[in-house]
């Protein structure tokens, strides 16, 4: 390429890029319009409702200014719900990054009856959450639950516990249900493992690295993208895990296992003029989810030198 | 196929005319062109589960349709938890509902504008005179301007107890316990048998019901003061009642292992003969009927009713109020037929059909339970006890449901020892004053 030819080609490339951008815009425009109507209208509607006192009919609303937000941010139950939400999410993330990773890697090594094990681990994630939580809840009632009855029947009655009425135990129960759903993280890891370049693993094997060393020092760091996807999906998903709490502990005892979803549910189904308050909660949750999503974009953005 | 310009214009005109007529027709529905009671028509009746429920209402409806062959009744039963929101939406959208069950709570006032004042019903004034005056007085408290927009169906009381007469006999009690000292005898006799002295739903709204009943024993004005005079939860009587309730569990009269029982589980334990007493509302009084016990495999051979024991027998009381009321939406075009149905159901021949299931005490003046329904002395005296408790309540059971569900969580925390009675009373009052729960 001569020096004189260079500017012409640059111009040509720029023009082509511009035309690509226009084509992309034509295809994206209907979707953008739909998004604008669907999301922006909804968010705008929620925001305007959040400053009112109104029932589900949205008629005869009373403007209350920022009162809903003020009540919300000083409500100890809401703050506890937020904290619980994040704690449950953190516990399920730890389980996913350790147990789910280990299971996925172990199954990827070609153990016997691999499909059977996949089924075992995936099944809870494929079942309706409300069903899983209901089963857990009924198994754990102190007097009639199957767990305590079994413990008593085999002479271990001393281990029978008030699983759902002691705050600490009830919290642990909900945390276990959150962790029980590690099927999806296993699926993410399995999908990523199949695309992993094998050269590094072969090199490690040749260097005499053991299984756990390979898992810890080679595979785990290579799956950084999957870890981040799992962390964010579990964190954001925890805000939508209403069924887990509602059907197991009902937020109790004494709201010690309440999460944002169950907090909203209580007000939304009250039948009174509480929809403005519920909208304020939703806006706050939306802002938090937005912050998390932006964090995800920043964290997962490729470094400048990698572009 | 080709159309001429004229054909297209005519077709367009026909379409526009049809749409206009359809629009007019829909408009006439919502603005209320009324159909005479004797015209052939179908009326839509909405109620929530258990008030008194589809099965019970089937008998009432079939009797009504026989008596009024030109009117067909379509009954829609909605889960009680969803009812308030669904009914509010349907009323505000002017859905074709002709009779709507009105929850006698803050919901009634919130939806008053969608309901036709009874004074504007075709025979409203005459109908009102058929109910006990007390129920009409209660009805007035539900609506902001004393103008009643619904008529009473029946009343209920809470909290009351249903007891297993066989177990009481074994404990040497000839009558149901009226004091905690009597109740202690019952609890002592059951030690080591695996049978618990008492169960109740642990649902937070019911915990609030129980606590409010306990407060009513020593401070009868407590709830009405809260409800009608903007009174406070943070009172000595409320704190004392919280401490008393906690002590019932701490001393073993009530079993802490029952604190996670859902509504149906608590009832099931009693029905299986594993609890001597179940505390609930009078709407569970069907257990007094031998026919109910046989159909539902209820183990106790005889069941009676009692109030919640108190420190002294003369303090035993319950709160009571209207439980179900019926209204006609402003938008209904079948108001005359709707009123006929309401009259038949609440103050006419239909009353016996639902009242015989004992779910509610009818609001109709001079109504008497059909003879032969209750067969034993325990059943008969139990029903009389319910009538007495409901007829002379400590206060109105005119609940603030959402606030009640919230306060119930503090009560459970007090029982578990994670909150003091004083802190619970303060928090309950803060929630009450915040206005966000109702």
Beta-carbon count within 10 A of B373 CB: 18
Asked if the A76-301 domain carries CATH number 3.60.21.10, the reply is: no
Residue B369 domain-assigned? no
Chain B neighbors of A142, CB-CB under 8 A: 256-260
Pair B301, B427 in one domain: yes
Pair B314, B340 in one domain: no
Q: What is the pLDDT of residue B13?
A: 52
Q: What is the pLDDT of residue A3?
A: 52
Residue B13 domain-assigned? no
Q: What is the pLDDT of residue A225?
A: 86
CA distance B182 to B109: 42
**Complex prediction ipTM:** 0.77
Residue B239 domain-assigned? yes
- pLDDT tens-digit profile of B360-391? 999 999 898 888 899 999 999 999 999 999 99
Pair B258, B337 in one domain: no
Does B258 contact A267 at a Cβ distance shorter than 8 Å? no
- pLDDT tens-digit profile of A147-159? 999 999 999 989 9
- pLDDT tens-digit profile of B3-25? 455 555 455 555 445 544 444 44
Pair B167, B132 in one domain: no
Q: What is the pLDDT of residue B241?
A: 98
Cβ atoms of A232 and A119 closer than 8 Å: no
CA distance A142 to B251: 19
CA distance A100 to A181: 10
Q: What is the pLDDT of residue B27?
A: 38
Does A271 contact B84 at a Cβ distance shorter than 8 Å? yes
Inform me whether the pLDDT recorded for B350 exceeds 70: yes
CB pairs under 8 A between A and B: 108
Inform me whether the pLDDT recorded for B70 exceeds 90: yes
Residue B23 domain-assigned? no
Distance from CA of A56 to the nearest CA of B (A): 7
Q: What is the pLDDT of residue B19?
A: 44
Pair B330, B293 in one domain: no
Residue B16 domain-assigned? no
Establish if B237 touches chain A: CB-CB under 8 angstroms: no
Distance from CA of A102 to the nearest CA of B (A): 36
Pair B198, B117 in one domain: no
Does B416 contact A253 at a Cβ distance shorter than 8 Å? yes
Q: What is the pLDDT of residue A2?
A: 52
Cβ atoms of B319 and B213 closer than 8 Å: yes
Residue B69 domain-assigned? yes
Domain boundary among B305, B334, B362: B362
Q: What is the pLDDT of residue A252?
A: 84
Cβ atoms of B75 and B65 closer than 8 Å: no
- pLDDT tens-digit profile of A224-244? 889 988 998 898 888 888 999
Mean pLDDT of B215-225: 96
Alpha-carbon separation of residue B317 from A91, A255, B157 (angstroms): 48, 30, 10
Helix (H) or strand (E) segment spanning residue B290: helix B290-295
Q: What is the pLDDT of residue A5?
A: 57
Supply angle C-alpha B246, B251, B256, rounded to 5: 65
Pair B70, B55 in one domain: yes
Mean pLDDT of B120-145: 92
Residue of B nearest to A53 (CA): B436
Alpha-carbon separation of residue B346 from B5, B98, B121, B228 (angstroms): 62, 15, 15, 27
**Least-confidence region, from B24-28, B304-308, B409-413:** B24-28
Q: What is the DSSP annotation of B388-399?
A: HHHHS-SSB---
Residue to test with chain A: of B109, B260, B402, most A Cβ within 10 A:
B260
Computed over every residue of chain B, the mean pLDDT equals 90
In chain B, how many domains are there?
A: 2
Mean pLDDT of B93-100: 94
Mean pLDDT of B177-206: 94
Q: What is the DSSP annotation of B130-188?
A: TB-HHHHHHHHHHSTTS---SEEEEEEEEEEEEEEHHHHHHTT-SS---BHHHHHHHHH
Q: Where do the structural domains in chain A lie, given as residue ranges?
A: 5-49, 76-301
Domain boundary among B338, B362, B386: B362
As separate numbers, helices (DSSP H) first and strands (DSSP E) second, chain A gives 17, 2
Give the CATH number for residue B116. 3.40.190.10
Q: List the beta bridge partners of residue B329.
A: B115
Residue (of B76, B135, B63, B124) closest to B356 by Cα position: B63
Pair B77, B60 in one domain: yes
CA distance A115 to A103: 13
Pair B84, B208 in one domain: no
Pair B148, B60 in one domain: yes
Pair B298, B256 in one domain: yes
- pLDDT tens-digit profile of A134-187? 999 999 999 889 999 999 999 998 999 999 989 999 999 999 999 887 888 999
Q: What is the pLDDT of residue B16?
A: 45
> Of the candidates A142, A165, A273, which has its C-beta nearest B416's C-beta?
A165
**Residues of chain A contacting B, Cβ within 8 Å:** 53, 55-57, 59-60, 68, 71, 77, 141-144, 162-167, 250-256, 266-267, 269-274, 277
Residue B350: domain span: 41-155+322-362
The pLDDT confidence band at residue B28, using thresholds 50, 70 and 90, is very low
Helix (H) or strand (E) segment spanning residue B281: strand B275-281
Beta-carbon count within 10 A of B372 CB: 6
Chain A neighbors of B204, CB-CB under 8 A: 252
Chain B neighbors of A53, CB-CB under 8 A: 435
The pLDDT confidence band at residue B417, using thresholds 50, 70 and 90, is very high
Residue B222 domain-assigned? yes
Cβ atoms of B108 and B142 closer than 8 Å: yes
Pair B81, B218 in one domain: no
For chain A, list residues with pLDDT below 50. Answer: 1, 307
């Amino acid at each position: 390429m001569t020096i004189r030819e260079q500017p012409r080609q640059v111009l040509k490339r720029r023009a082509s890029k511009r035309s690509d951008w226009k084509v992309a815009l034509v295809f994206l425009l209907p979707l953008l319009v739909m998004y604008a109507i669907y999301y922006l209208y909804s968010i705008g509607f929620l925001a305007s409702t959040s400053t009112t006192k109104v029932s589900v009919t949205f008629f005869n609303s009373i403007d209350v200014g920022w009162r809903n937000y003020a009540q919300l941010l000083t409500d100890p139950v809401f703050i506890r719900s937020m904290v619980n939400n994040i704690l449950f999410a953190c516990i399920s993330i730890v389980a996913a990054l350790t147990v789910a990773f280990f299971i996925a890697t172990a199954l990827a090594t070609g153990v016997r009856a691999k499909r059977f094990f996949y089924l075992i681990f995936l099944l809870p994630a494929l079942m309706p959450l409300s069903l899983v939580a209901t089963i857990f809840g009924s198994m754990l009632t102190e007097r009639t639950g199957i767990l305590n009855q079994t413990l008593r029947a085999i002479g271990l009655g001393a281990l029978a516990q008030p699983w759902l009425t002691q705050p600490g135990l009830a919290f642990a129960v909900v945390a276990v249900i959150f962790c029980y759903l590690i099927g999806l993280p296993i699926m993410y890891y399995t999908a990523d493992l199949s695309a992993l370049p094998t050269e590094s693993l072969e090199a490690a094997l040749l260097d005499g690295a053991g299984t756990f060393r390979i898992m810890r020092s080679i595979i785990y760091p290579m799956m950084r993208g999957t870890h981040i996807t799992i962390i964010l999906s579990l964190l954001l998903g925890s805000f939508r895990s209403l069924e887990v709490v509602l059907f197991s502990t009902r937020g109790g005892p004494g709201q010690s296992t309440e999460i944002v979803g169950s907090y909203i549910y209580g007000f939304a189904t009250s039948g009174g003029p509480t929809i403005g308050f519920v909208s304020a909660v939703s806006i706050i949750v939306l802002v938090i989810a937005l912050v998390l999503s932006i964090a995800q974009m920043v964290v997962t953005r490729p470094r400048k030198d990698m572009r | 196929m080709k159309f001429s310009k004229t054909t297209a214009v005519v077709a367009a005109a026909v379409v526009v005319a049809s749409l206009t007529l359809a629009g007019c027709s829909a408009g006439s529905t919502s603005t209320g062109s009324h159909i005479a009671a004797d015209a052939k028509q179908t009326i839509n009746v909405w109620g929530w589960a258990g008030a008194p429920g589809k099965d019970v209402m089937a008998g009432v409806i079939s009797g009504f349709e026989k008596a009024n062959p030109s009117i067909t009744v379509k009954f829609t039963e909605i889960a009680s938890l969803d009812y308030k929101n669904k009914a509010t939406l349907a009323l505000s959208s002017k859905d074709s509902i002709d009779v709507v069950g009105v929850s006698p709570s803050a919901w009634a006032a919130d939806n008053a504008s969608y309901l036709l004042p009874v004074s504007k019903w075709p025979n409203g004034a005459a109908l009102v005179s058929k109910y006990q005056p007390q129920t009409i007085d209660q009805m007035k408290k539900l609506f902001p301007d004393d103008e009643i927009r619904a008529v009473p169906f029946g009343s209920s009381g809470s909290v009351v107890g249903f007891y297993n007469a066989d177990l009481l006999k074994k404990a040497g009690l000839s009558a149901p316990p009226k004091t905690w000292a009597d109740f202690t005898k019952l609890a002592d006799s059951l030690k080591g048998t695996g049978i618990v002295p008492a169960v109740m739903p642990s649902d937070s709204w019911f915990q609030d019901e129980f606590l409010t009943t306990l407060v009513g024993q020593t401070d009868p004005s407590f709830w009405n003061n809260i409800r009608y005079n903007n009174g406070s939860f943070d009172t000595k009587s409320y704190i004392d009642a919280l401490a008393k309730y906690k002590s019932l569990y701490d001393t073993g009269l009530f079993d802490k292992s029952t604190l996670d029982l859902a509504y149906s589980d608590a009832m099931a334990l009693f029905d299986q003969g594993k609890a001597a007493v179940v505390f609930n509302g009078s709407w569970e009084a069907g257990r007094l009927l031998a026919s109910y016990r046989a159909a539902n495999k209820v183990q106790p051979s005889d069941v009676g009713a009692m109030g919640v024991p108190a420190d002294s027998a003369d303090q035993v009381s319950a709160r009571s109020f209207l439980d179900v009321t019926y209204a006609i939406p402003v938008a209904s075009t079948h108001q005359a037929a709707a009123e006929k149905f309401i009259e038949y159901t609440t103050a006419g021949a239909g009353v016996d059909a639902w009242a015989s299931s004992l779910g509610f005490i009818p609001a109709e003046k001079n109504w008497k339970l059909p003879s032969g329904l209750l067969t034993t002395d325990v059943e008969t005296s139990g029903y009389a006890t319910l009538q007495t408790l409901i007829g002379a309540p400590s206060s109105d059971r005119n609940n603030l449901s959402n606030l009640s569900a919230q306060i119930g969580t503090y009560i459970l925390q007090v029982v578990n020892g994670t909150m003091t009675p004083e802190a619970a009373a303060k928090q309950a009052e803060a929630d009450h004053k915040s206005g966000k729960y109702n």
